[in-house]
Structure 1
Amino acid sequence: MPAFAETILVVFTLIAIGYGVAALRVLKPETGEGLTDFVFTIAVPLLLFRILATAKFEHGVPWLLWVTYFTAVLVTWSSAHVIIRTGFGRDARSGVVAGVTAGFSNLVLLGIPFMSGVYGEDGLAMLSQIVSIHMPIMMGASVILFEWALKRDGVSTESKTLVALVTGFFRQLFSNPLILGIVGGFLVRISGLDIPAVADRVIVSLGGVAGPLALFAMGVSLRGYGIRGQVPQAISLVVLKLMLMPAVALGIALLLGLPELQTKVVVAAASLPAGVNSWLIANRMGTGQRLASTSMTLGTAVAAATTGLWLLIAEAAF
C-alpha cells in the first residue's frame, strides 16, 4: 500500500463521518453551520497566517508553480463552459457555473488537511502559495464573467462601470477572513518581526484543529447539498475536474521542469474536487445551483479513488 493511502483513508473517513452525523441528525443543523463558520473565519485564517509568516519558501516566488496550476484551471474551466453550453444547450450563466465547478479545487477545507498529511509542512507551505492568489484570481474571474453572462442571457441590461466592478471585487475580497489571514501573514513576513511566543501558541492551538474540523464540517455540508438532479451534466464536470485538470497540471509541470515536490503538490491540488464556492456562485447568479450541488457531491465521493490514482502517477513520473 502506498504511503499516502492511509492519509487518503483518514481524510475521506472524516468527511464520511461528518456526512453520517448530519444524515442521522446526531447534531443540530445549526451546529454544523457553526463548525463551518469557525473553520472559515477563525481556524483556517490563523493557520494560513502562521504558515505565510513563518514558512521557509526555498524556491522564492513560485512563478512556475502558479503558471502550472492556473494553466490547468484555464483549460478545465474553458472545456467545462463549452461542454455545458454546446453539449447540453445551457445558457451563459450555467456555462460560468460549470467553469467554476470544474476549475475551482477545494484547496481549503479539503486541500489543507490533505496536503499536510501527504507531504507534511513543506507541501502545506507550497499549497499556501497557491491559495494566496487562488481566491483573488478565481473571484475576479467570476465577477467579470458573471457580468458578461447576465448581459449575454439578457437578464440584465445595466452596465456596471469599471469603478463599480473593482470596488465590489475588493469589498468581497477583503471581507473574506481567508484573505485577511493571508495578507496578515505576508505583512508579518515582510516586516521581519517574530510572532510573540504566547500569541504563537494561541494561533497554533486554534489553527491546529483546522484540518480535522474542516473535513468533518465539509461532510456535514455535503449532506445539506446532496445530489439534486442534472446528473449527466454533473458527471461531465466531475470527469473534467478529477481527470483533465490534474493531467494538464502534470503535463505543464513536466514541461516547465518543476521540482519533484512542487510537481506532486500541484498535481494533488488540481486533482481535488470542487468545493462549496461553486454553489455559492451559482446561487448568486440565480442558476445552476442543482448542477453545482450534484457535481460537488459526486466529485467528493469519487475523489477518494481518483486523487490516489494521480498521486501514484505523479510518483511514477519521478
Structure 2
Amino acid sequence: MLATAQNVLPVFILIFTGWLMVATGYLRAEAGDALSNFVFKLAVPVLLFRTIAEADFHGAFPLRLWIAYFSAVAVVWAIAYGLAITVFGVNHRMATVAGVSSAFANTVFVGLPLIDRIVGPEGLVALSILIAIHLPVMMIASSLLIEQAEQRDTGKPKGSWVEFCASLWRNLSRNPLVFGIIGGGLWHLLGVRLEGVPATVIQQISQIAGPAALLSLGMAMRRYGFSGQLPLSLTATLLKLVALPALVLAFATLLGLSDEWRRALVLVAAVPTGVNAWLIASQFRTGEPMAASTITLTTGFGVVSVTFWAFLLG
C-alpha cells in the first residue's frame, strides 16, 4: 500500500502546490486561469493527438470500453438523483446536478497525468478512447436531463431540438480537445509515423501537459471551496469515489476488458469530480454550491480513493 501511495501522492501534491501558490498570494489567481487555458487549448489537445496517432489498438473495438464505463455512470447518476429527491427533498434540477457531480470524472486535468503515471501507454490509449466521447455524452445527458427537470419544477415550455442541437454543436466545435482527438484519429488512419523535429516538439509539449494540468487545477480550487449543501455533497462524494469505480470494475470485468484497460477505467472513475459539474450548474443557475463543495471534497479525498483502487488493482 505504501508503494502505491508513493506513486499516487505526486499527482495530488502538484494539485496542492497549485492551491498553495494562490492561497499564499505567491501567484495571482489570474496566473492559474492563464495556465489552465494553456493546458486546455494546447498541451492536452497535443497529448491526445500524440497518444491516438501513435496508439496500437491491437484490433480492439472500443464499444465494450464505452459500455462498461457509461453503464456505471448511468447507475450512479440514477442513484444520486433518487437519493437527492427522496432523502434530501431537493427539486429536480438540484437532483440532476447531484447526479452530474457524482458521475462526471475529471478525465483531463487529473485522469490523464494519473493514468500516464500509474498504468502507462496502454492506459492512455484506453483513456483517450473514453475522452473521445466522454465530454459530448456527459454534456448531452446533462443538458437534456436538466431541461426536463426545469420543466417539472417550473412548467417551462419545452425548447426545440433544433436550438438544442445548434447550441451543442457550437460548444463542441469550439472545444480544442475535439480537435486533438479528431486530428490524432486521422493521423492514425494515414499510418504515418511522427518523426523528426515535429515529433520532438509534440513530445515536449505532451510532457508538459500532466504537471501543468495538475498545477492549474490546484490554482483554480480557490474559487470553489465549501459553498453549502454539505450532506448532499458528502453523499455525491461517496458515490463518486466509491460506487462509480466499483461499478466500472464490475462492468469492465463482466465485459472482458484487458487488465490495462480495466485499470485505466477504474482509476479514472476514482478521480475527483470534474469542474464541468460546476460549469453545468452555473450555466443552469442551480446547485452551484453543492457542485462546488463536491469538487472540493472529492479532490481532498481523491488521494485516498485513488490509492485504494490502485492498490486493489495491483
TM tier relative to shorter chain: over 0.9
Secondary structure of 1:88's match?
coil
User: What whole-Å deviation, never above 9, does each CA across 1:130-149 have from its counterpart, x for those lacking one?
Assistant: 11111111111112112212
Match of 1:253 in 2: 252
Match of 1:92 in 2: 92
8 Å contact kept, 2:4–2:311: no
Q: Which amino acid aligns with 2:104?
A: F
Match of 1:270 in 2: 269
Distance in 2, matches of 1:176 and 1:155, equals: 32
Match of 1:161 in 2: 160
Match of 2:62 in 1: 62
Match of 2:139 in 1: 139
8 Å contact kept, 1:123–1:265: yes
Match of 1:215 in 2: 214
- Cα RMSD, aligned residues only: 1.4
Distance in 1, matches of 2:245 and 2:197, equals: 41
Secondary structure of 1:273's match?
coil
Distance in 2, matches of 1:258 and 1:61, equals: 10
Secondary structure of 1:56's match?
coil
Match of 1:20 in 2: 20
User: What whole-Å deviation, never above 9, does each CA across 1:217-236 have from its counterpart, x for those lacking one?
Assistant: 11111122111121111000
| Count of residue pairs brought into register by the alignment | 314
Query: Is 1:40 the equivalent of 2:40?
Result: yes
User: What whole-Å deviation, never above 9, does each CA across 1:139-166 have from its counterpart, x for those lacking one?
Assistant: 1111211221221121632x32222211
Distance in 2, matches of 1:256 and 1:108, equals: 25
Please give the residue correspondences for 1:291-306 in structure 2 after superposition, counting only pairs within 5 Å: 291-306=290-305
Query: Is 1:232 the equivalent of 2:228?
Result: no
How far is the alpha carbon of 1:259 from its aligned partner? Answer: 1.9
Q: What runs of 5+ residues in structure 2 fail to find an aligned partner? A: none
How far is the alpha carbon of 1:58 from its aligned partner? Answer: 1.9
Q: Which amino acid aligns with 1:313?
A: L
Please give the residue correspondences for 1:120-199 in structure 2 after superposition, counting only pairs within 5 Å: 120-154=120-154, 156-157=156-157, 159-195=158-194, 197-199=196-198
User: What whole-Å deviation, never above 9, does each CA across 1:261-282 have from its counterpart, x for those lacking one?
Assistant: 2221111111111010000000
How far is the alpha carbon of 1:3 from its aligned partner? Answer: 4.3
8 Å contact kept, 2:240–2:270: yes
8 Å contact kept, 1:7–1:114: no
Distance in 2, matches of 1:213 and 1:298, equals: 22
Q: Which amino acid aligns with 1:257?
A: G
Distance in 1, matches of 2:240 and 2:288, equals: 17
How far is the alpha carbon of 1:6 from its aligned partner? Answer: 1.9
Greater CA drift, 239-248 or 140-149? 140-149
Query: After TM superposition, where is structure 1 displaced by more than 3 Å over at least 4 residues in a row?
Result: 1-4, 193-196
Distance in 1, matches of 2:28 and 2:95, equals: 35
8 Å contact kept, 1:72–1:270: no
How far is the alpha carbon of 1:5 from its aligned partner? Answer: 2.3
Distance in 1, matches of 2:297 and 2:209, equals: 24
How far is the alpha carbon of 1:2 from its aligned partner? Answer: 5.2
Distance in 1, matches of 2:249 and 2:238, equals: 16
8 Å contact kept, 1:250–1:314: no
User: What whole-Å deviation, never above 9, does each CA across 1:103-156 have from its counterpart, x for those lacking one?
Assistant: 011110000000001011121111111111111111111121122122112163
User: What whole-Å deviation, never above 9, does each CA across 1:5-52 have from its counterpart, x for those lacking one?
Assistant: 222110011111111111101111211110011111110011101111
Distance in 2, matches of 1:71 and 1:2, equals: 32
Match of 1:281 in 2: 280
Greater CA drift, 159-168 or 188-197? 188-197
Query: Is 1:117 the equivalent of 2:129?
Result: no
Match of 1:7 in 2: 7
8 Å contact kept, 2:122–2:261: no
Q: Which amino acid aligns with 2:45?
A: P
Greater CA drift, 70-79 or 191-200? 191-200
Greater CA drift, 184-193 or 41-50? 184-193
Greater CA drift, 11-20 or 183-192? 183-192
Distance in 1, matches of 2:45 and 2:80, equals: 30
User: What whole-Å deviation, never above 9, does each CA across 1:236-275 have from its counterpart, x for those lacking one?
Assistant: 0000000111111111122222222222111111111101
In the superposition, the TM-score normalised over structure 1's length comes to 0.95
Secondary structure of 1:44's match?
helix
Q: What runs of 5+ residues in structure 1 fail to find an aligned partner? A: none
Secondary structure of 2:80's match?
helix
Q: Which amino acid aligns with 1:72?
A: A
